[in-house]
């Protein structure tokens, strides 16, 4: 994303935050419950707006046309979406199209990101952010471990609605509403991403909302609660901020752990040591 789009995203995020804080872009504060509901509604509505723009090339081009004034683009957004979405969503949308974006895709992707952040804000307000983060990570592991499900969610011949319906049936009643909404929206716009990678990215975004680092741990055997707590505390001290540890059991490691934090990998597994030993004899 180029500098112009980064600045546009910053300005739009600020406008959305202000609108959520007032409930309608005005000055009156809203109650915590109303703010949570507004955030959840805004997230869902921004997803719906993007879905419409995905299908209507002429409209999305007009809303991102830098040769016209921002005021004109805001007026078009008001004309098309006014009365069809909440005042908060409309305020965010008008703020977005009023900015100059480097590309149309930057505008759409930023609206998606702000929709996700709004839903995660609703989860945080309800004390569910940790649960959402964990559910999304586990969903990624389930999908990556089920070749048929992964293929179904990746199949380009299946419509976005078809993929969302399939995932919704699998998740209904088993995860929080925010997790279901995020996962179903994401699977409909995978493009070139693998489903498991997309769900991992969402889990990382959830962690980022509370300024936590994500450590993905592969362990030869399940960790006890005490072991998990000790590992979390050690990594938190190492990185100087809260660390969320997601553990996946991988018997092929033989023993020990492999810890990945961003691009950094700490391989303390027996399999890793054997691989190093083999290389030393080559």
Region 254-276 average pLDDT: 81
Region 107-116 average pLDDT: 97
**What pLDDT, on the 0 to 100 scale, is given for residue 1?**
76
**CATH code of residue 250:** 3.40.30
**What pLDDT, on the 0 to 100 scale, is given for residue 30?**
52
Q: What is the span of the domain harbouring residue 200?
A: 127-207
The tens digit of pLDDT for each residue in 53-107 reads 999 999 999 999 999 999 999 999 999 999 999 999 999 999 999 999 999 999 9
3-state secondary structure of 245: strand
Residues 70 and 160 in one domain: no
Count of structural domains, the chain: 3
- Rounded to the nearest integer, the mean pLDDT of the chain is 89
The answer on pLDDT for 279 being more than 90 is no
Query: Which helix (H) or strand (E) element contains residue 249?
Result: strand 243-249
Region 196-218 average pLDDT: 89
**What pLDDT, on the 0 to 100 scale, is given for residue 131?**
94
Residues 177 and 78 in one domain: no
The tens digit of pLDDT for each residue in 118-173 reads 999 999 999 999 999 999 999 999 999 999 999 999 998 999 999 999 999 999 99
How many other CB atoms are found less than 10 A from the CB of residue 75? 16
Residues 36 and 109 in one domain: yes
Centroid of chain to Cα 148: 24
- Of 109, 12, 22, nearest to 60 by C-alpha is 109
């Amino acid at each position: 994303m180029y500098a112009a789009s980064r600045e546009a995203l910053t300005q739009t995020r600020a406008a959305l935050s202000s609108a959520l804080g007032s409930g309608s872009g005005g000055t009156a504060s809203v109650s915590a419950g109303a703010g949570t509901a507004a955030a959840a509604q805004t997230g869902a509505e921004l997803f719906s707006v993007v879905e419409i723009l995905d299908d209507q090339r002429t409209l999305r081009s007009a809303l991102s046309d830098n040769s016209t004034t921002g005021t004109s683009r805001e007026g078009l957004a008001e004309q098309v979406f006014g009365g069809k979405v909440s005042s908060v969503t409309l305020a965010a949308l008008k703020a977005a199209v009023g900015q100059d974006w480097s590309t149309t895709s930057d505008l759409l992707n930023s609206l998606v990101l702000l929709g996700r952040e709004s839903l995660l804000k609703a989860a945080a307000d309800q004390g569910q952010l940790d649960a959402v983060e964990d559910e999304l990570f586990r969903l990624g592991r389930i999908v990556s471990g089920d070749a048929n499900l992964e293929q179904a969610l990746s199949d380009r011949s299946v419509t976005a609605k078809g993929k969302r319906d399939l995932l919704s049936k699998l998740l209904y009643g088993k995860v929080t509403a925010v997790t279901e909404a995020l996962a179903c929206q994401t699977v409909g716009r995978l493009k070139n991403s693998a489903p498991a990678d997309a769900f991992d990215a969402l889990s990382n975004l959830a962690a980022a909302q509370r300024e936590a680092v994500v450590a993905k741990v592969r362990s030869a055997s399940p960790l006890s609660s005490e072991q998990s707590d000790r590992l979390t505390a050690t990594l938190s001290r190492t990185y100087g901020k809260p660390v969320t540890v997601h553990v996946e059991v991988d018997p092929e490691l033989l023993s020990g752990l492999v810890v990945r934090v961003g691009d950094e990998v700490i391989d303390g597994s027996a399999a890793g040591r054997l691989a190093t030993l083999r290389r030393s004899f080559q």
